[in-house]
Amino acid sequence: MFFTSCVEETTPELEEEKFARLYDDNRFNESIIPIDVAQTTDGGYLVLAKRRLPESHFTGIYLMKVNSRGEFEAAQELDVQYVNPVGELMVADGNHYFFCMDELTVQTHLVRVSENLEDIAVNPLQAGLTYPAAASLQGNEFLLLSYDHMEKLSVLSLVRPDGVVTASQGYDIGVGDEVEEPIINHFIGGGKKFPFQTGRIPGGAYFFNGFYNYTFSLVFTDLNSEEPMGVVQGQHDDGGFSAVLPIVSTKFAAARFNFGDNFLLPNVVLPPNAITSSVDYPGNTLPELVPNATVKILRTTIDGTQTLVFASETRSKQIALLFYDEATGALLGSHYLGFSNPFEVASVIATEDDGLLVCGTAYLAGRFPRICLFKLPKEELAEKVRR
């Protein structure tokens, strides 16, 4: 295996603060699609990605480590027994963690990865959870959303880094093959990809973005009852939230999709103890985005302003960064990434030097997906938010 990285729009003086890199693979037909990225203690970056497996309906697992300048250092492909990696890429106890599943049993496994990729451990969860869909770090535990295909339940669980499940609750998706079909198609890559997500209101309710009661919905719970505390219902599988970020109490930053249209909501109140509909929250329409666009939201500080960064993808095949004032919801500025090839966003994170790192997919020759990284310095970001 041979890797190269192409550099655009960078200078030697700024190569740690600003770079744009695309990581090629000499296996011409290889497909590598990033899921998430995290900064490592040495200033470099660890990328979690999925890769095409010719003999499987599921995707395999690919990990890549680069240095602080984005230069390739190492990569690992896990055994093809382990498939369906899901983000987030979470940091605990000095290691990175993510969930995947066994191809044959579909049992959920927890993967522990050292940041240099020299120590990787894959261990099954003992609770019998199947089809992992999304996860996040909540305190010292992982909040995992999975799908129980036997009981037809969306399952939300708390998992310790040692793999012990400390709490778990299932929520009925509804009866009928037409309800389950889009979920299974999501996992085998044969249909629409859903923006599954987990999280928690600071000091309050847990939530998941997934299927409940026949509909892709945002569900709030205390994990003590099979009945949710509250639900923001979507439009079957054609509408709902594409991203949710809790700010404080009932205030959120969010994005939603509805039959192909996209709406950004940088300042919205979502009651966790009520039944509402996603269409009750109109938001800002963005016709420039692709239908049902992937959206990632980051809360950070830029030039002294608490800022919300919305990352998505445009019809012109670029990655769009939209900057909003957290306090007012006002648009502060925008920035676009991508050149020559089509680009899609996977993740956006704040870096230790107050910059941003955007991880995405670049399609070489418009066909072959590869990992790309864009590093933006704090000075350039400050120019985007000054009014």
- Give the model confidence (pLDDT) of 194-224 as tens digits: 999 999 999 999 999 999 999 999 999 999 9
**The CATH number of the domain where 256 resides is what?**
2.130.10
Domain extent for 296: 31-336+377-385
SS3 20: strand
Residue 359 lies in a domain: no
The pLDDT value given to residue 2: 43
Residue 362 lies in a domain: no
Residue 249 lies in a domain: yes
Residue 330 lies in a domain: yes
Strands 230-233, 275-277: parallel, antiparallel or unpaired by DSSP?
Answer: parallel
The pLDDT value given to residue 159: 98
SS3 379: helix
Residue 180: in which H helix or E strand, if any?
helix 177-188
Alpha-carbon distance of 258 to 242, in angstroms, equals: 10
The pLDDT value given to residue 6: 54
Backbone angles phi, psi at 86, to 5 degrees: -130, 145
The pLDDT value given to residue 1: 44
Q: How many domains does the chain have?
A: 1
> Do the beta carbons of residue 75 and residue 117 sit within 8 Å?
yes
The three-state DSSP-derived secondary structure of 223-292 is CCCCCCCEEEECCCCCEEEEEEEEEECCEEEEEEEECCEEEEEEEEECCCCCEEEHHHCCCEECCCECCC
- Residue numbers in the chain where pLDDT is lower than 50: 1-2, 7
For 160, 195, 381, the CA distances from 90, given in Å and listed in that order, are: 12, 18, 25
Residue 48 lies in a domain: yes
Residue 154 lies in a domain: yes
- How far from chain centre, in Å, is Cα 92? 18
